[in-house]
Amino acid sequence: MAGNSFGGLFRFTTWGESHGPAIGCVVDGVPARVPLTEPDIQHWLDRRRPGQSKFTTQRREPDRVRILSGVFEGLTTGAPISLMIENVDQRSKDYGPIKDQYRPGHADFTYDAKYGIRDYRGGGRASARETAMRVAAGAIARKVLGDEITVRGALVQIGADRIDREAWDWVEVERNPFWCPDATAAARWEDLLGDVRKRGSSIGAVIEVVASGVPAGLGDPIYDKLDADLAKAMMGINAVKSVEIGAGLGAAELSGEENADEIRMVDGRPTFLSNHAGGVLGGISTGQDIVVRFAVKPTSSILTPRRSIDRFGKEVEVSTKGRHDPCVGIRAVPVGEAMLAIVLADHLLRQRAIAASHDQP
Amino acid sequence: MAGNSFGGLFRFTTWGESHGPAIGCVVDGVPARVPLTEPDIQHWLDRRRPGQSKFTTQRREPDRVRILSGVFEGLTTGAPISLMIENVDQRSKDYGPIKDQYRPGHADFTYDAKYGIRDYRGGGRASARETAMRVAAGAIARKVLGDEITVRGALVQIGADRIDREAWDWVEVERNPFWCPDATAAARWEDLLGDVRKRGSSIGAVIEVVASGVPAGLGDPIYDKLDADLAKAMMGINAVKSVEIGAGLGAAELSGEENADEIRMVDGRPTFLSNHAGGVLGGISTGQDIVVRFAVKPTSSILTPRRSIDRFGKEVEVSTKGRHDPCVGIRAVPVGEAMLAIVLADHLLRQRAIAASHDQP
Amino acid sequence: MAGNSFGGLFRFTTWGESHGPAIGCVVDGVPARVPLTEPDIQHWLDRRRPGQSKFTTQRREPDRVRILSGVFEGLTTGAPISLMIENVDQRSKDYGPIKDQYRPGHADFTYDAKYGIRDYRGGGRASARETAMRVAAGAIARKVLGDEITVRGALVQIGADRIDREAWDWVEVERNPFWCPDATAAARWEDLLGDVRKRGSSIGAVIEVVASGVPAGLGDPIYDKLDADLAKAMMGINAVKSVEIGAGLGAAELSGEENADEIRMVDGRPTFLSNHAGGVLGGISTGQDIVVRFAVKPTSSILTPRRSIDRFGKEVEVSTKGRHDPCVGIRAVPVGEAMLAIVLADHLLRQRAIAASHDQP
Amino acid sequence: MAGNSFGGLFRFTTWGESHGPAIGCVVDGVPARVPLTEPDIQHWLDRRRPGQSKFTTQRREPDRVRILSGVFEGLTTGAPISLMIENVDQRSKDYGPIKDQYRPGHADFTYDAKYGIRDYRGGGRASARETAMRVAAGAIARKVLGDEITVRGALVQIGADRIDREAWDWVEVERNPFWCPDATAAARWEDLLGDVRKRGSSIGAVIEVVASGVPAGLGDPIYDKLDADLAKAMMGINAVKSVEIGAGLGAAELSGEENADEIRMVDGRPTFLSNHAGGVLGGISTGQDIVVRFAVKPTSSILTPRRSIDRFGKEVEVSTKGRHDPCVGIRAVPVGEAMLAIVLADHLLRQRAIAASHDQP
């Protein structure tokens, strides 16, 4: 209820501020005897780590994750798994005017409105640094899902520049600094983002995450539908402003005939001939790919001064001189993947709880 | 967890199938001494009721709501409020092939996959009939919010035809059968939908719901952000495929300069000069209007046959001969309003729980 | 959170006041395809019904339960099950001074303190009438548990008069109006309670409920231990003042040697040689009988005047002239059984969620 | 749901095993701007620390608590508070036969039954070491309660030897190694426990915890009654076998006349003349002292060999040679206090959420 936990049966709670001594999370509800090591988690953290190209912040976080509980001799025990990353970058420094100013687009104003106090150092709790723990929890969720379910993500749009979906190549995603599945688009974005960065400006983006191999039957109607939980999971990521499932917003423009995903028997199995539904009908997975897209607003920290006020009601101009990501959407790709894996792991466990009775009427 | 409840402190649970004896809900967590009568709720149900124009189904549901508990001498008592509507339309009839067929776009296939059984009468639990109870719960939520917070909705797009936002007039919304705020668009839609209906086809739509007068400070970071809960609330409505906050998907195409909502002091109060944020920053309300949009897919029940299978794996063609809404998005407007009111009422109570300490340091 | 729901995966919510139009509950999380009919539930309600002997109140409640949703063609569907009992006894009448007085031992004073309003008719929400819905939900829980798990209860003490545990006979429990397993004690209690009743007085009691056939492994350490959830379940029953597991309070007087439940292999299976633990170790079931006892205070409504105040702060004397149970503990037996079945059903489903992975390392 | 969290609005999650690298907890839902420092928490941990007399284990745990998040410049920020204690005692050693044996009275057997794996080092997650984090969370709960609510505990019985309640003196509680409020009893216990310890035996105990200054109105009927939540809180403490509120088990032996807590107006305020209710009526606090008692079984680890089996089904004899507390009940006193404070803090916040409307009808 207090807001720092996510999930029902597979449930995790994160803690820590951007410039505090550490960040961490506790993952509860993981079944016992799942193999798990620190490198299993570190692998996904390394993919997320900023500073790997000139298009993401240069903060050098080694982000070395430690497992503090819940794993014994390489296997989970059913006890809560505590993960921690120490903030090596944490140092006392002068935060200057940022201490009292409300940066437009940031949560400074609202944190003060809600709590009457604000840890202004590096954005405190509202910093995207928190998402490292989502990626860590997502790594455990992947273990729960097993090898037959794969969760992948890609950047499909920067600004108004969309990829060519016909050119989609998952291999390409790992080859460019944008997680872009279209090599040609990636080349264009190199120029586009370089220009944005030079101007000290920023730009939005759209991410698509996809899960394959998900069995039919996951999701709890009416209010814990699989797509409803996915919408909550994605909209809760920093800077996200929209979430779509399958045809998404485009579904509004379709006719019933176009939108229908017809079904045939192929090799003796029900097979959908299209996937406008994005793998979810009535809030329950169909067995098709789960397809989720979300839009990320442009980074709020920019060079051009913007008008604002400070906490004393004094009018000020705010501009950000330090280094910031020109497009925070890039770093959101591994976070979106993690949240998708987490929602699926949670619903997989939920379904196990009630599924056994099918054969016991 | 089992999926039929929504909310934390203001929490309701719905029950009932489309063709069962009744539908109902239990609303728990309502503060005591809130004035509440059956007409207070009936008012909003009547707005939602189908069969009020040729563009919504002709099922004649009087939808007479009864309060069975939790209210004493016109005031809530703090006890759970039980609401019930009897299904007068409920009668034994021959459901024919629908009994075993999986209608494309419906939840038939997935309910069978999940539960191994399906109440096929009128869509059972997956029917939009369930949304009547959301509207009823929303009526109570409005009482909790009080008169200073208003929640309104409108249809802003049918198919590819968008309203002119400059022509927005809330008064017009109550004057046409589409909840359309733009009189010119409403006239166009009359023709557009009439044509769709005649062809036995269907079409999607986009709804926008807005809350005004919401105080700054509502929402619980990190995972129960106000916008995350709104995304879950809206995506959980039948047929919804996307949810947007403020600039929404369009934010992807903005630069940081464009997207920034600048702040000035006006009449001694912090005032935002624009609202790309949709009234939410860092998951917490800013005091501006909360603006949420969601897209509804076209009605899945159409006249043109679509290919599918039945539960025995036999290939079939499915077409719907009976009357169905050509655009389910119309009926989703009051439902979206209700869900917005519910999310806000919940977060208002949550904020009260922690706010008192601000002045006790 | 608002207090009218119980359980995690098997979860029910009750509603209704003693003298309102009806009482009911919604049971969510029941797996699909469990056979369920109204008589299955009515059977257990009839056992609980008051007015069956001179030792319980004479209110004639037919208590006819209806299933309003969630069951189709005799099987559960996975949708929420709504149950309702109409209050035929409900009639407008003059409640006289009780309207404003705080009856000692009742919740009148505290409901006013908490809610600032009170439905005084028949005790409103605080009436033991609410427990009928626990028994109804318990009947569904028994179905989920299946035939191999049996849940039974008995009255083991009235006032200071205890049964002879050597004389325990489950068959005898159904033969006397006290659910007493010791025929000799039942005969004594006939006199004892007859005397209490004649004097318009009342007396406390101790109930023991036992579940057999429970598999080892149910319960979620650390805070959702099986015994912790049972303690919450029993302490939440009206008038209960203590809960014990196994040796219970008596464990305080034992030495470690006496308290140890030794284990041997019998017929190739681990077998405990005693059960001081009451079937729970470390919060997890051992496979032995689950043994829970709880004490019920004497009925607060008595003939002898007691000093109190009314809601205006005026000092008054309160005495109850109407008929009331001389020992509410008797009626608590079926309620305790129901709560035990409910807790076990909930933990059985929870365990299924995580158990599957044991064999998939 | 997974069991390692407690509370609704004031909610904490603990993690860590007895011999892992650290233990910790995350406390969420703490209002902002509550003053909090590490010494505030350390104070209560020091009271709990074992090894302070010959009657508790000699493990030398400095138990130095660190605050890792949620506090800024000496005040809480509303963000989750992460606490950690490193396990300095943690070292690789030979656990010998304990690795595979099921110690009677311990959770070895049931953890294996539930999880199919067990961290046998020092009892793993089932160790009483976990309770240190309850005490830490309880220290924060006390801060939320403020100075006007005091929470205290005492040992009132060891084995069959009860204190003289007439001799109760809270000052004495801090003067002897038993938290005994009766100096004469404390002297007797010195001998009693010395003897138990020499024989390598153990003995049970009863603890009483009391909260004063609690306002009337806390607790959520029907299923989250204040006493129901207290029962869950106390029964969930290691080795607890019974929980009582007010007159408790003794209420069974009272008549209605004896049990009634009469009310008079004293100094213009409603005043109860006795407290058999233990400060709770209908699940809601009355404003009187909240009085809870719980019984702790004798330490399971004793010198005398007991019969058991190992995980391979081989019959063995188990005896404990190392040092163990002869009476674990002693160490349970600060833990019971902490859980009482936690339950009250949670319900205080819950009440704030709904109380504001009293004056706004």
pLDDT tens digit sequence for C32-77: 999 999 999 999 999 877 556 777 665 566 789 999 999 999 999 9
**Cβ–Cβ gap C357/A29 under 8 Å:** no
Q: Which of D2, D23, D82 has the CB atom closest to A11's CB atom?
A: D2
What's the pLDDT band for C213 if we cut at 50, 70, 90? very high
Do residue C69 and residue B124 have CB atoms under 8 angstroms apart?
A: no
> Residue B356 and residue D31: Cβ atoms within 8 Å?
yes
Chain A: partners with 3+ C-beta pairs within 8 Å? B, C, D
Backbone angles phi, psi at A202, to 5 degrees: -155, 170
Higher pLDDT, D95 or B107: B107
Q: How far apart are CA B337 and CA B323, in angstroms?
A: 26
Contacts of D296 in chain C (CB under 8 A): 251-252
- Contacts C227 to D, Cβ<8 Å: 235-236
**Other CB atoms within 10 A of residue A307 CB:** 14
Q: At what angle do helices D329-355 and D131-145 cross, to 10 degrees?
A: 40
**Average pLDDT of C81-86?**
97
The segment with the largest mean pLDDT, out of B121-130, C50-59, C210-219, is: C210-219
CB–CB of D213/C216 below 8 Å?
A: no
Contact state of A34 with C1 under an 8 Å Cβ cutoff: no
Amino acid at C201: S
- D282 vs B: CB within 8 A: no
Please name the residue of chain C whose CA is at the shortest distance from the CA of residue B19.
C69
Taking CA atoms, D235 is separated from C4, D230, D240, D244, D295, in Å, by: 22, 8, 5, 10, 9
Stretch (H or E) spanning C234: helix C226-235
The fraction of chain C above a pLDDT of 70, given in percent, is 94
Q: Can you list the pairs that A174-179 forms with residues at least 24 positions away whose Cβ atoms lie under 8 Å?
A: A177/A52, A177/A53, A177/A55, A177/A56, A177/A330, A178/A55, A178/A330, A179/A153, A179/A154, A179/A155, A179/A330, A179/A333
d(CA B48, nearest CA chain A) in Å: 19
Closest-CA distance of chain C to residue B128, Å: 15
Residue B47 confidence (pLDDT) = 85
Beta strands in chain B (DSSP E): 5-6, 11-15, 22-28, 65-67, 71-72, 75-76, 81-86, 150-158, 161-162, 205-212, 240-245, 263-266, 269-272, 280-281, 284-285, 290-296, 306-309, 315-318
Enter the DSSP assignment of C107.
S
B358 in D contact zone (CB under 8 Å)? yes
Which helix H or strand E contains D153, and what residues bound it? strand D150-158
Nearest to A297 by CA among B162, B280, B211: B280
Distance CA A163, CA A140 (A): 31
Residue C164 in this model has a pLDDT that exceeds 60: yes
Q: Cβ of A361 and C35 within 8 Å?
A: yes
What chain C residue is nearest to A356 in terms of C-alpha separation?
C352
Q: Do D34 and B9 touch (CB under 8 A)?
A: no
Mutation for D interface: A10, A13, A112, most D CBs within 10 A: A13
- Which residue's entry shows tokens 């299976």? C269
- Give the model's pLDDT for residue A360: 40
pLDDT confidence of residue B258 = 96
Whether A104 and B224 lie within 8 Å, measured CB to CB: no
Contact (CB<8Å) B119/C13: no
pLDDT of residue D92: 59
Residues 160-179 of C with CB under 8 A from D: 160
CB contact under 8 A, B361 and D31: no
Chain B: closest CA distance from residue A268 (Å):
8
Token readout for B227 is 């916008």
pLDDT score of A91: 58
Say if strands B22-28 and B81-86 run parallel, antiparallel, or are unpaired. antiparallel
Are B251 and A204 within 8 A, CB to CB? Answer: yes
CA distance B288 to D84: 40
Task: Summarize the confidence of residues B85-113 as an average pLDDT.
Answer: 86
Q: How far is D262 from chain A (nearest CA, A)?
A: 39
- Determine contact: A224 vs chain D, CB below 8 A: no
Give the chain C residue nearest A34 (alpha carbons). C361
CB atoms within 10 A of CB B191: 9
Query: To the nearest whole angstrom, how far is the Cα of B69 from the nearest Cα of chain C?
Result: 5
Element (H, E) at A352: helix A329-355
In angstroms, the separation between the Cα of residue D38 and the nearest Cα of chain A is: 14
Kindly state whether A23 is in contact with chain D, defined as any CB-CB distance less than 8 angstroms. yes
pLDDT at C197: 94
| Residue C360 pLDDT > 50 | no
Instruction: With beta carbons under 8 A apart, name residues in chain A contacting C78.
Output: 354
Indicate the residue of A35, A78, A349 with minimum beta-carbon distance to C361: A35
Q: Which pLDDT score is estimated for D48?
A: 74
Sorting pLDDT into bands at 50, 70 and 90, what band is B192? very high
Q: What backbone phi and psi angles, to 5 degrees, belong to D14?
A: -105, 160
Q: Does C321 touch chain D (CB under 8 A)?
A: no
Asked if the C-beta of D114 comes within 8 angstroms of chain A's C-beta atoms, the answer is yes
Position A47 scores a pLDDT of 85
Q: How far apart are CA D17 and CA A58, in angstroms?
A: 37
The DSSP element (H or E) to which D259 belongs, if any, is: helix D256-259
- Burial tier of C191 (Cβ tally within 10 Å: 0-12, 13-18, 19+): exposed
Ranges of residues in chain D whose predicted pLDDT is under 50: 357-361
Instruction: Give the pLDDT score at A95.
Output: 75
**Residue C292 belongs to what H/E stretch?**
strand C290-296
Selecting from A245, A261, A351 the residue whose C-beta is nearest the C-beta of B104 gives A261
Contacting residues of D for A82, CB less than 8 Å apart: 15-16, 22, 24
CA distance C244 to chain B (A): 29
Distance from CA of A194 to the nearest CA of D (A): 36
The reported pLDDT for the residue numbered B92 is 59
D360 has a chain C CB within 8 A of its CB: no
Tell me, rounded to whole angstroms, the distance of Cα D42 from its chain centroid. Answer: 17
Positions of chain A with pLDDT under 70: 50-52, 56-61, 89-94, 323, 356-361
- Calculate the average pLDDT of chain B: 93
pLDDT confidence of residue A358: 43
Contact status of A119 with chain D (Cβ, < 8 Å): yes
pLDDT at D361: 31
Q: Determine contact: A78 vs chain C, CB below 8 A.
A: yes
The CA-atom distances, in angstroms, between D220 and each of C286, C338, D8 are 32, 21, 11
Show residues of chain A in contact with D16, CB under 8 Å.
Answer: 68-69, 82
* Mutation to test the D interface, candidates A4, A220, A346, most D Cβ within 10 Å: A4
Q: What is the nearest CA distance from D234 to chain A, expressed in angstroms?
A: 21
- Indicate which of A30, A68, A99 best probes the interface with D, i.e. most D CBs within 10 Å of its own CB: A68
- Cα distances (angstroms) measured from residue B55 to each of B193, C270, D141: 7, 69, 57
Give the pLDDT score at B2: 87
- Which H or E element spans position D144? helix D131-145
Q: In percent, how much of chain B has pLDDT > 90?
A: 87
Q: One-letter amino acid identity for D96?
A: G
Test B77 with C22 for CB contact under 8 angstroms: no
Please count the CA atoms within 13 angstroms of the CA of D361 that sit on its side-chain side. Answer: 14
CB contact, 8 Å: A127 with chain D?
no
Residue in D with minimal Cα distance to A117: D77
Average pLDDT, chain C: 93
The Cβ of residue D303 has, within 10 Å, a number of other Cβ atoms equal to 16
Q: Given an 8 Å threshold on Cβ–Cβ distance, is D295 in contact with C3? A: no
Q: Which residues of D touch C262 (CB under 8 A)?
A: 104, 306-308
For position B60, what pLDDT does the model report? 60
CB B299 to CB A216 under 8 A? no
Dist. CA D239–CA C254, nearest whole Å: 13
Residues D69, A130 contacting (CB under 8 angstroms): no
Whether pLDDT at B58 is above 70: no
C352 near A CB under 8 A: yes
What gap in Å lies between CA C186 and CA C156, rounded to an integer?
10
